[in-house]
Amino acid sequence: MVDMLSYVYTKTNSKVLFVGHSQGTIMGFAAFTVPDTVKMIEAAALLTPISYLDHITSRFALRAVKVHLDQMLLTLGIHQLNFRSDIGVQIIDSLCDGHMDCSNLLSVITGTNCCFNRSRVEYYLEYEPHPSSTKNLNHLFQMIRKGTFAKYDYGLWGNLNDTGACIPSIRSARHTRVSAVVDGLRRDR
């Protein structure tokens, strides 16, 4: 993120107007805690922020976290989770089987949305959910388990090698020094 912002800032010779949506808000909030990055930002609009994941109510996501799906995928050497792949379909089946109705996968993952046009769900599912790297999934699940907004936890030795600290640094949106508009849905869970 910092490299992208730096590139735009350098090429345009002006501060950047940042717009983040969903996971882009995590990237934005993290970048905005770094003073050198803040100098490049004019203002930010953060839509449907998901930076703090301790309030998630999606049974599907919570079940995936509980069974440590991320760690299983890492152990198996699977680097990308794509729910459209054969293994992705098997994962959905095993997470849903007897535990929840996954006939509307979009609602199962994101929660019930009053504003979705139900006749368009099939269209939405042509494009969603997007594949994600297993490392990204692992990072999101780490934050759900710990209830924090933190850097990726590489484990003791990995953290020491990466940052010189035993544990990843906890981030706080309160330390953001960027003029920002934050907007989301009241029932966004």
pTM: 0.82
pLDDT recorded at residue 184: 66
Residues in contact with 35: Cβ distance below 8 Å, sequence separation at least 6, in sequence order: 177
pLDDT of residue 118 exceeding 70, the answer is yes
pLDDT of residue 186 exceeding 70, the answer is no
Q: pLDDT tens digits for 23-57? A: 888 888 888 888 899 999 999 988 876 667 778 88
Domain ranges, ordered by start, for the chain = 1-51+171-189, 59-146
The percent helix, strand, coil of the chain (3-state, each to 5) is 50, 10, 40
Buried b or exposed e, range 87-98, using 16+ CB within 10 angstroms? ebeebbeebbee
Report the C-alpha gap between 90 and 134 in whole angstroms: 16
pLDDT of residue 172 exceeding 90, the answer is no
Per DSSP bridges, beta strands 41-47 and 80-81 are: unpaired
| Short-list 24, 57, 132, 14, CA closest to 32 | 24
Q: pLDDT tens digits for 129-149? A: 789 999 999 999 999 999 888
Q: With beta carbons less than 8 A apart as the criterion, state whether 163 and 107 touch.
A: no
Report the C-alpha gap between 94 and 25 in whole angstroms: 30
pLDDT recorded at residue 154: 95
Element holding 41 (H helix, E strand): strand 41-47
